Chain A
Amino acid sequence: MPESSFKDHVRESRTLTSRVIISAAVVLILLGTLVLRLAHLQITNHSHFTTLSHENRVKLLPLPPTRGLIYDRNGVILAQNLPTHSLEITPEQVRDIDQTLADLAKIITISEDNLKRFHRLRKQKRRFDSIPIRVRLDEREVARFAVNRHRFPGVEIQARLLRNYPQGESMAHLVGYVARINQQELERIDTSNYAGTSHIGKTGLEKSYEDILHGTVGMQQVEVNATGRIIRVLENYPPIPGQDIHLHIDASLQAIAAEAFGEKNGAAVAIDPNTGGVLALVSKPGFNPNLFVEGISSAAYSALQQSDDNPLFDRALRGQYPPGSTTKPFVALAGLETGTITYTEKKFCPGFYQLPKHEHRYRDWKKQGHGYTDMEKSIVESCDVYYYDLAHDMGIDKMSRFLRPFGFGQKSMIDITGELRGLLPSREWKESTRNIAWYPGETLITGIGQGYFLTTPLQLASATATLATHGILRTPRVVAQITGTAPSETEKPLQPEPTQLPAINQKNWDDIIFAMTQVVEGVRGTARHIRTEEYRIAAKTGTAQVFTVKQDEEYDAETVAEKMRDHALFIAFAPVKEPQIAIAVIVEHGGHGGAVAAPIARTIMDHYLLDNKQLTPGDQP
């Protein structure tokens, strides 16, 4: 060490003291800066950070409402919410996931796909979220796991409610189905009310009564931590479950009607003419709506979509068929009401009809002709020539104007979305849409329900009900009643007021209905084989051409491929006095209406009028 005598302790001490004072000053300045910074955060921006802190910790959790149920008129359930069991794993609580999965596989079937899906979800979810490894466990699997539960900490059986349609195919188009909400729906719906809801009505009643079935979402205000785990519930607003709907539909009638079609495709609509309530609304073939609820596989979906039978297509509401001869009672009534013809006036039918100065022969279905034909015979035997002449005499304008109030060419306004309007041809329609003049020949074929004329099975049934009630048009309704807690807004009335058709002479109604009765009861009636002693039926058969036979050829059902065969149609109501059911049946490519469609209608009527009444006496309206 150097000599200490060289050092000047006093000077060194003084230097140090001054440096210490400078240091202390710097310390105070820096601490002052810190305090200013804290004041900036804690006083100036306090409310800003309070908001951020609140947003950090308080989250709103939606509580989805339970969807309303759908019942038929007898309380048979058509759409319900079934608990399904899924096996879920919470990774946080499992010590060795791979070992757990291997052990689980010994008691419950776990496929490669299940594992793949699990591992994918595991990467997306948080550690404390439970992740499904298997969905839709059956009862035996649930039981087998329950016995072994103690071996699997962190593995749980979770029950969720899944929409289920116990009637399956026969109700598929009518009730429709729910499926996962898609992007377009997301833009349309009130997202706050659907927070927490994963499924929405896609078709049928599930879609048109979505607002009523869905209910009102509840909310839970919760405190969460940084990882999103719920620490406690701050507020709880329970959801309001969706309302239940009760239909006019009779599930057993629907099933019997669907069964009556056998392998054939087509549609049947049955309406109670006294209420407008729809008793059956069948479209064949159906499909299994339950497939759509959990998400249908793309293979199964394209199979349904590409099938020649087109099972997803709702024929009852969207199928547009030429009404064929089922229009004849309506055209005959038009003839009477417009004074074009009288009930007893006869026309001669040689088997064809020619317009003056025209070569073209409009053929009758009966090659040799019906001979002298009055109105009753024209309906009973379905003479085409009679109607060619009647239509020609009446003209398209009068005919079109008369038919419109029966609902032809316009939507029936049934309470299921998606129906098509059909087409009632008229001069104005043709000129405005096609810009071509109306030809007289088109009037003739309109008179027998061919040409441009298109109706849906629903329209035909509704028009038939209007015949049955002597001119009271009731909007067809599927839903009879809504029960449960209503949301705040006021309900629209379920059954709109019926419309009375322009006054029609009572005698004319009676004549036409008598003629229709003779279709079943007459010796030559086209539907005479469905005659029954139990009750009286008024009906009309029809055949709609799919394929036009050339002038010099003959239609031969044997040689024409099934896809080209005529559609069979049938309309009926019964009992003739005090009618309780009005029906329209269409069998695609079924040939003649009397042969194929009429027995289906008879089956429906029998069940509704006879079986039902005996089974549940006094239950009928």
Chain B
Amino acid sequence: MIPRSAPSREFTQSTPAKQQGALAWLHLDLPLISGLVLLCGFGLIVLYSASDQSMAQVERQLIRLGLAFVVMVVMAQIPPQQLRRWSPWLFGAGILMLIAVLIFGHTGKGAQRWLDLGFFRFQPSELMKLAVPMMVAWFLSSARLPPDWRRLLIASLLIIIPVLMIAKQPDLGTSLLIASAGIFVLFLAGVQWRLIAGFVALLAAMAPALWYLMRDYQRQRVLTFLNPESDPLGAGYHIIQSKIAIGSGGIYGKGWLNGTQSHLDFLPESSTDFIFAVLAEEFGLVGILALLTIYLFIILRGLYIATQAHDSYDRLLGGALTLVVFVYLFVNTGMVTGLLPVVGVPLPLISYGGTSLVTIMAGFGILMSIHTHRKLLPT
């Protein structure tokens, strides 16, 4: 099962074996984990302010983060070959659970997302955030790259089917993230540029059709995005208040705990989807540049790990998982700053809430595994 090939240069470079002590033993990547700890620490500081100094909320988030780090460490122990073997099974299980959600799913906030398993509620769409890129990477890496058009078509179906099922729940944000994860695998696999151009053209052509498939609230979001002032007390309120928070923060911000927009509740969802605006209000442009620098460092490190991976599956999966984190970041910040329509995507590792946190950290665990298990390969 494991591809055996001539040793490439990468295996002669510094291996994790040369990293010191516990981190190496735990298969953890020091630069990545430093970036993540820094980011989560920053996030907790902002959350303390955004939650109106609720230590209880910060503690709950801290517990979730701890759990997510444990998941990350666990994932880092699983060799990528193992993940690759599990890919089709995981994907299959995910599809079955999505079907179950559509049939018996628990409805929360007007959308069916949860599967109540009795002892805990599980969101299969979270699993698919990992399972879809794994499956597509597994499928594509099993043959010569770049894929021919037949394999490309099958890979597209592997993406589209779960995406549509999740979009039907409806969960636009998650389906967008899953679709992008799958598409990143295709892009990294070297799909020809003319196909990419064709795909973009097709998407543009389908936009009107998409309009008809959207639910009313989704259409409203698009309309509000195009002109938030048209409905300042209704749907446009979020964006207007968010822009006021960011703009009034200025270069240096109003200072930690001094943001009026968030503390006086003008800013909705201040500790979840709109936490970026709290940060912008209290820490200003300087704080935002610091945050974006940490994100950029983490993303570049992830992409570097992908380029250093030893086989196509690892490379495709590592690259796609990293880029998905950027999609999270950009969709969220784009929404909060009014560049993009309102789509419920959290600011990764900073927004209050646990579900996506665990998935994202699991993805970083996979990245670490990819990077630290190379030495186990025979040379």
Question: If A4-B3, A41-B246 touch, does A19 touch B266 (CB 8 Å cutoff)?
Answer: no
- Contacting B339 at CB < 8 Å: which of A24, A33, A227? A33
Q: Counting chain B CB atoms within 10 Å of each CB, which of A35, A39, A43, A53 scores highest?
A: A53
Contact of A7 among B144, B266, B315, B323 (CB under 8 A): B144
Q: Which residue of A lies closest to B300 (CB)?
A: A24
B251 and A49 within 8 A (CB):
no
Bound-complex Cα distance A13 to B306 (A): 10
B285 near A39 (CB under 8 angstroms)?
yes
A188 contacts partner chain B, Cβ-Cβ < 8 Å = no
Q: CB-CB contacts of B238-255 with A at 8 A, as 1s and 0s?
A: 000101111111110000
Bound: A514/B372 CA distance, A:
130
Given A27-B296, A34-B333, check contact A43 B250 (CB 8 Å): yes
For A46, give its contact among B241, B250, B260 (CB under 8 Å): B250
Can you spell out 8 A-B residue pairs with CB atoms less than 8 angstroms apart? A6-B143, A15-B146, A27-B299, A34-B330, A37-B338, A41-B337, A42-B284, A43-B250
Q: A9-B3, A16-B319, A34-B339 are in contact. List 11 more A-B contacts (CB 8 A).
A: A7-B143, A20-B188, A28-B296, A34-B292, A34-B330, A34-B334, A35-B292, A38-B280, A42-B284, A49-B246, A56-B241
Given contacts A12-B190, A17-B307, A24-B303, contact A226 B312 (CB under 8 A): no
Chain A hits for B265, CB < 8 A = 225-227
A2 and B249 in contact, given A16-B190, A57-B266, A231-B264 (Cβ under 8 angstroms): no
Q: Mark B204-225, 1 if CB is under 8 A from A, else 0.
A: 0000000000000000000000
Q: Is A50 an interface residue (CB 8 A)?
A: yes
Asked if residues A53 and B188 are in contact (CB atoms below 8 Å), the reply is no
Q: Are B5 and A9 in contact (CB under 8 A)?
A: yes
**Most chain A CB inside 10 Å of its own CB: which residue of B144, B284, B292:** B144
Q: Which residues on A sit within 8 Å (CB–CB) of B323?
A: 23, 27
Find chain B residues with CB under 8 A from A223 CB: 260, 264
Residue A224 CB within 8 A of the other chain? yes
- Closest CB in chain A relative to B356 CB, distance in Å: 20
Contact among B190, B266, B285, B311 for A38, CB-based, below 8 A:
B285
Q: Are A50 and B266 in contact (CB under 8 A)?
A: no
For B250, B284, B334, the residue with the greatest tally of chain A CB atoms inside 10 Å of its CB is B250
Q: How far is the CB of B95 from chain A (nearest CB, A)?
A: 22
Residue in contact with A42 in the complex, picked from B1, B251, B264, B315, CB distance below 8 Å: B251
Chain A interface residues (CB < 8 Å from chain B): 1-2, 4, 6-10, 12-13, 15-17, 19-20, 23-24, 27-28, 30-31, 33-35, 37-39, 41-43, 45-46, 48-50, 52-53, 56-57, 223-227, 231
Cα of A441 to Cα of B108 in the assembled complex, Å: 97
Whether A2 pairs with B142 at a CB distance below 8 angstroms is yes
Residue of A nearest to B191 (CB): A19
By a CB distance below 8 angstroms, the chain B residues around A231 are 264
Q: Which residues of B contact A6 (CB under 8 A)?
A: 143-144
Does A46 lie within 8 Å of B334, measured CB to CB?
no
A31-B292, A41-B337 as given contacts; A9 in contact with B311, CB under 8 Å: yes
Q: Is the C-beta of B90 less than 8 angstroms from some C-beta in chain A?
A: no
Residue pair A19, B312 in contact (C-beta under 8 Å): no
Q: Separation in Å of the B183 CB from the closest CB of chain A?
A: 11
Interfacial residues, chain B to chain A (CB-CB below 8 A): 1, 3-6, 8, 142-146, 184, 187-190, 241, 243-251, 260-261, 263-266, 280, 284-285, 288-289, 292, 296, 299-300, 303, 306-307, 311-312, 315-316, 319, 323, 326, 330, 333-334, 337-339
Cα–Cα distance between A227 and B233 once the two chains are bound (Å): 12
B245, B289, B306, B319: the one contacting A53 at CB < 8 Å is B245
**In chain B, what residue has the closest Cβ to A27?**
B326
| Docked pose: A4 CA to B292 CA in angstroms | 41
Q: Which of B248, B307, B330 contacts A30, CB < 8 Å?
A: B330
The answer on a CB contact under 8 Å between A56 and B251 is no
Tell me the bound Cα distance from A42 to B247 in angstroms.
4
The distance in angstroms between the C-alpha atoms of A39 and B250, with both chains bound, is 8
Flag if B264 contacts A56 (CB, 8 Å).
yes
Complex Cα gap A46–B251 (Å):
9
Partner of A49, one of B247, B292, B303, B316: B247
Within 8 Å CB of B243, what residues of A? 41, 49
- CB contacts (< 8 Å) of A45 on chain B: these are 247
The docked-state distance in angstroms from the alpha carbon of A478 to that of B135 is 97
Question: Is the pair B251, A4 in contact by a Cβ cutoff of 8 Å?
Answer: no
| Docked-complex contact A9 and B312, CB < 8 angstroms | yes
Chain B positions within 8 Å of A39 at CB level:
285
Determine how close the nearest CB of chain A comes to the CB of B153; give it in whole angstroms. 17
CB distance from B350 to the nearest CB of A (A): 15
Residues of chain B lying within 8 A (CB to CB) of residue A52: 244, 247-248
Q: Which 7 A-B pairs have the closest CB atoms?
A: A49-B247, A53-B248, A225-B264, A15-B190, A226-B265, A41-B247, A49-B248
| Residue of chain A at shortest CB distance from B2 | A4
Most buried by A among B315, B316, B338: B315
Q: Is the CB of A19 within 8 A of B247?
A: no
Contacts of A8 in B (CB 8 A): 144
User: Which residues of the partner chain B approach A41 to less than 8 Å between Cβ atoms?
Assistant: 243, 246-247, 280, 337
Which single residue of chain A is at the shortest CB-CB distance from B293? A31
* Contact, CB under 8 Å: A50 / B190: no
Of A2, A7, A16, A226, the residue contacting B264 (CB under 8 A) is A226
Cβ of B285 and Cβ of A57 under 8 Å apart? no
Q: Are B261 and A56 in contact (CB under 8 A)?
A: yes
Contact of B280 among A4, A42, A53, A227 (CB under 8 A): A42
Nearest to A17 among chain B residues (CB) is B307
CA distance A43 to B196 in the complex (A): 37
Q: Closest residue of chain A to B267, judged by CB?
A: A226
B188 touching A16 by the CB < 8 A rule?
A: yes
B319–A23 touching, CB < 8 Å: yes
Cβ-defined contact, A19 with B261, below 8 A: no
**Does the CB pair A34–B337 fall under 8 Å?**
yes
- Give the docked Cα–Cα distance between A17 and B188 (Å): 8
Contacting pair B266 A56 (CB below 8 A) = yes
Cα of A53 to Cα of B241 in the assembled complex, Å: 8
How many Å from the CB of A44 to the closest CB on chain B? 9
B333 partner residues in chain A, CB cutoff 8 A: 34
Instruction: Determine the distance from Cα of A224 to Cα of B260 in the docked complex, in whole angstroms.
Output: 10
B260 & A53 in contact (Cβ 8 Å cutoff): yes
Residue of B nearest to A39 (CB): B285
In angstroms, Cα B146 to Cα A57, docked, is 58
Check if A7 sits within 8 Å of B319, measured CB to CB: no
User: Which A residues lie within 8 Å of B187 (CB)?
Assistant: 19, 23
The answer to whether B339 and A37 have CB atoms under 8 Å apart is yes
Tell whether A20 pairs with B306 under 8 Å between CB atoms, given A35-B292, A45-B247, A53-B245. Answer: yes
Q: Which of B145, B247, B326 has the most CB of A within 10 A?
A: B247
Q: How far is the CA of A34 from the CA of B293 in the complex (A)?
A: 13
Contacts of B330 in A (CB 8 A): 30-31, 34
For the complex, what is the distance from the CA of A35 to the CA of B1, rounded to whole Å?
A: 46
